[in-house]
Amino acid sequence: MKTQRLGRDFMRLWLAQSISAVGSEISAVAIPLFAVTTLGFGAHELGFVLAMEGIPPVLFGLFAGVWVDRLSRRTILLASDILRFLLVLSMPLLYWAGWFTTPVLFVCTFLIASITVFFDIAYWSYLPSIVAKDELAHGNSRLSMTQSIATTGGPSLAGAITSFIGPPAALVLDALSYLASFLFLTGTRRPQPAASDEPAPPVLAALREGLAFVLGNRFLIMLALGAATWHLIYFSTLTNFYLYLARDLAAPPYVVGLLLSCGGLGALAGAPLVPKLRDTIGSVPLLCATLVVAQTALLAIPFVREHALLPEVMLGSALFFGGAASTAHSVVHVTLRQETTPQALLGRMTSIVRLVTWGAIPAGSLAGGLLAQSMSSRDAFHIISLVGYGLTAAWVLAIVTVPGFGRALPPLAGHNGQPG
C-alpha cells in the first residue's frame, strides 16, 4: 500500500494531524460558546476573542519561520502540543474551581493561537524530513484529505458534542486531542538533516535571508500569487454566497450547511487524484488547470435561480467541483514549495508564503462585503467572476510564458533539497 511506502513516521504524523484537526474544530465551537455561557459575552466581547485568535499569525508568523528553521521541528511540534494541552485544559479546570475570568480567556486564546502558528509552520516544514521527495505529493494529498474531513464534519461533530456534554467538558476533549497528538508524535524517530555548525545569525538577519530566497525565486513568487488569487476570489464569493442563499434563494440554514459540506466532499475527492494526475500531465499544467476549473465552478453560482430545477443540486455540484479543484491545486502548490526549498529554509519560506496567501483572505472577505452592500448578490458575483478570470488568466499566462516559470521546475525525485 502507498501509505506503507510513506513510512511509519508519516503514519504517526498523519494520525497526530487528524486528531489535532478534529480537536481544533471542537475548540472553534466550544470556546465561543464557553465565553457566552460562562461569562455572558455579547457580540462586542466575542469579537475580542476572535481577534485574539487572528492577531498571532500576523504578529509572529515571519519570526516563527526563523525559529522553525533554527530549532528541531519535531521538538517544536511536541512542545506545541503539550503547551496547547495544558492551556486548553486550564480553562474548564479554572471554571470548575471558580477562578475563570475574562482576562484568563483572552490570555489563553491568544497563547493557543500563537503556539498554533509555530505548530503549523513546523508541521509542513517537517514533512520533507520524513517522506522521500518523490512521495511528497502522496503525503500532502493524505494530509489534505484529513484536513478536509475535519473541516467538513468537524463543526457538526463539535456542535453535537458541545450540546451534549457542555462547553467546559468539550474543551477537556479538545485538550485530550492535543495530548493524543503529542503521544503519536513521540513515536516519530527519523531525524531531520543536521544543522550547520556555524553560529546562527541574528533573527532579523535570518529573516532577511529567507526573504531574499523567496523574492529571488520566481517560481515561489508565482506559487504564492496563484494561491493568493484563489483566496481573494474564493472569500469574496463566500461572503456573497451566504447573502445569496438567504435573500435570493431563501434557503433554510440546514441547506446552507449541506451545501458548504459539498465543498468538503469535493476536497476529499480531489486530493487523492493529485499524484496520478501530476505524473500524467505535469505539475505546471495541473496547477493551471485546477485553478481555472475552481474559478469556473464559482462562476456557475450566480446563474442558479430560485425557479431553476433543483437549484440546491446545481449549487452543490458547483461547490463540489470547486472544492475538488482548489484542493488539488493546494496539494500541488505545497508539494512544489517543499521540493523547491532547501531544508534549512523551509520554515522561513512557509511563513513568508503564508503571509502572502493568507493575507488575501481578509482582503477578499472585505471586498466581497463592500460589493454586497452596493449591489445585488448576483451582480456582485458577476463582478467577482470577471475579476477572478482576469487575475487567473494573467497568472496562467505568466507561469506559462515568462522565461523560467514553466520550465525551471525542480526534479521530482532524487532531488537534494537545493533550489533549482
Cα angle, residue 127 at apex, residues 209 and 419 outer, rounded to 5°: 40
* pLDDT tens, residue by residue, 134-157: 788 888 888 888 877 777 666 667
Residue 43 confidence (pLDDT) above 90: no
- C-alpha cell at position 218: 520566481
Q: What is the pLDDT of residue 66?
A: 92
* pLDDT tens, residue by residue, 287-303: 899 999 998 888 887 77
Measured torsion, CA atoms of residues 196, 182, 35, 242, in degrees rounded to the nearest 10: 80
- CATH no. for residue 94? 1.20.1250.20
Residue 308 confidence (pLDDT) above 80: no
Residue 415 lies in a domain: no
Q: What is the pLDDT of residue 367?
A: 84
Domains in the chain: how many in total?
Answer: 2
Tell me the residue range of the domain where 163 lies. 2-188
- Collapsing DSSP to helix, strand or coil, 250 comes out as coil
Residue 414 confidence (pLDDT) above 80: no
Same domain, 261 and 376: yes
- pTM (2 decimals)? 0.79
Query: What share of the chain in percent tops pLDDT 70?
Result: 88
Q: What is the pLDDT of residue 192?
A: 57
Cα angle, residue 364 at apex, residues 350 and 265 outer, rounded to 5°: 75
Give the C-alpha separation, 364 to 374, whole Å.
Answer: 16
Q: What is the pLDDT of residue 1?
A: 44
Residue 197 lies in a domain: no
Q: What is the pLDDT of residue 45?
A: 78
* pLDDT tens, residue by residue, 76-113: 999 999 999 999 999 999 999 999 888 999 999 999 98
Same domain, 183 and 214: no
- C-alpha cell at position 3: 501509505
Same domain, 176 and 216: no
Same domain, 184 and 214: no
Residue whose C-alpha is closest to residue 218's, from 65, 403, 344, 417: 403
Burial 398-415 (b: 16+ CB within 10 A, else e): bbeeeeebbeebbebeeb
Quote the mean pLDDT of the chain. 82
**Residue 402: band (very low, low, confident or very high) from pLDDT cuts 50, 70, 90:** low
Give the C-alpha separation, 324 to 177, whole Å.
Answer: 28
Residue 406 lies in a domain: no
Give the C-alpha separation, 355 to 361, whole Å.
Answer: 10
Same domain, 282 and 228: yes
Q: What is the pLDDT of residue 195?
A: 54
